[in-house]
Structure 1
């Protein structure tokens, strides 16, 4: 199938373009970007022009920041295109619910992707936990925003979500692997004095689940989830890529997250189905509603 990639920034170049190139299901037929392009692929600066001219492209993959994504997705859906959304699927839950309803009405596929759920250790972790009694879950997600979003001020603008941009990856894994639903009960959000979104967060959930997100970690990066059960302990390291059970390696593998997303999108389009799970975004919204605010030192890239 032909796919148009909209937004040729860091995530598109690092993940989407290679995943499409390595897939037998997809052909990158067009790009849309104000300045970026992919060698050998038709490049458009105007999104409306691409939709109007390239009626042979049935699928649009949106790699834009969350702020403009809703309008782009809605145009594609109303033009009869299947749509693949980068995470988070929207700035708000209302945006996601609206897009899901519009996709159903138009009879097209909408896929709200969560790339971390495709990490190598996530599926076996979910299977191991399926019949376990959970006693405690600890999430530690600390990274350097300067490394992963260099100079990208949009992450600190309203709708950019701040530290929840990476933190939602952890929430997508937790909500996938745990055999029970959880709900947020308290949060502390740290906002730089000169920014609109938090740079760190401490979250408390029901059922013994807690999470710490921080965007100020230099040196080694930390993406760990520990689940303690009455039958043993499970650890997911490296963002879900490496699974350890009771101290013994249980699963590990190379990064194939985006390859998994595009394989899933191909399945959905062929089946005429959609996959729009907004659960991780629900927890982020709850954090902003329940969280107490602390002002910390200003942040500059």
Structure 2
């Protein structure tokens, strides 16, 4: 199937383009970006021009930042194309609900992707927890914004989500593996005095689940989820790629490179089935954090 990639930035070049190139399901037939291009692929700066020039393209994958994503997704759906959304699926819950209704009315596929759910050990962790009682849990998700979003000012603008851009990856895993849903009860958000989105957050959920997100960690990065159950301790390390049971490694790999190929395989299956997958549970927790969060001002942040 022919596919167009919209938003040729770091995540697109690091993950999407290699995944598409290696896939037996997809051919990258066009790109849309203000500045970025992919060698050998027709490039456009406006999605409307791309859509009118390529009626043969069935699917549009959107990698641009959340705030402008809705208009691009709407244009693609109105042109009769299936749509794949990089996480988070939008800047607001309401706009994603609108896209879901639009896709359903047109019989098109809409896929709100959560790449961290495709990490090596997530399915095994979900299976292990399925018949166990969860007593408590801890998420520690700390990374360096300068490494993963160098100079990308939009991440600290309204709609950019700040530290929840990576933190939502942890929440996507949590909502996938827990045998029963939880909801947020309290949040503390640290905003740099010169920014519009938080650089750190501490969250409390029902079920004695706590989360610690921070975008200021230099050196080794930390992506851990630890769950205490009636059958002992379970942990997911390395962003869901390594599973530990009782402190001993049970399975996993040290690579995150297979997450995006799995997403594109899933998208191919959804298109063939005429189905959609729009799970907004991780984003609900983020929205609740902004609603309930107690705001604290911290020192200015500059890239």
Normalised-by-shorter TM-score class: over 0.9
Structure 1: give runs of 5+ residues left out of the alignment: none
Secondary structure class of the residue paired with 1:14 = helix
Secondary structure class of the residue paired with 1:226 = strand
Taking the aligned partners of 1:135 and 1:41, their CA distance within structure 2 comes to: 52
- Number of the residue aligned with 2:276: 274
Equivalences for residues 197-236 of structure 1 within 5 A: 197-236=197-236
Give the deviation of 1:206 after TM superposition: 0.1
Give the deviation of 1:158 after TM superposition: 0.2
TM-score relative to the length of structure 2: 0.99
Of 251-260 and 216-225, deviating more is 251-260
- Number of the residue aligned with 2:47: 47
The answer to whether the 8 Å contact 2:144/2:216 transfers is yes
Secondary structure class of the residue paired with 2:67 = helix
The answer to whether the 8 Å contact 2:156/2:198 transfers is yes
Secondary structure class of the residue paired with 1:117 = helix
The answer to whether the 8 Å contact 2:132/2:230 transfers is yes
The answer to whether the 8 Å contact 2:3/2:30 transfers is yes
- Number of the residue aligned with 1:67: 67
Secondary structure class of the residue paired with 1:162 = coil
The answer to whether the 8 Å contact 2:47/2:75 transfers is no
Equivalences for residues 95-114 of structure 1 within 5 A: 95-114=95-114
- Number of the residue aligned with 2:27: 27
Taking the aligned partners of 1:35 and 1:149, their CA distance within structure 2 comes to: 17
Would you identify which runs of 4 or more consecutive aligned residues in structure 1 move more than 4 Å? none
Aligned-pair Cα RMSD in Å: 0.6
Equivalences for residues 65-214 of structure 1 within 5 A: 65-214=65-214
Taking the aligned partners of 1:67 and 1:252, their CA distance within structure 2 comes to: 35
TM-score relative to the length of structure 1: 0.99
Give the deviation of 1:42 after TM superposition: 1.1
Give the deviation of 1:160 after TM superposition: 0.2
Give the deviation of 1:168 after TM superposition: 0.2
Taking the aligned partners of 1:45 and 1:92, their CA distance within structure 2 comes to: 25
Taking the aligned partners of 2:77 and 2:242, their CA distance within structure 1 comes to: 37
Give the deviation of 1:35 after TM superposition: 1.3
Alignment length, in residue pairs? 301
Secondary structure class of the residue paired with 1:286 = helix
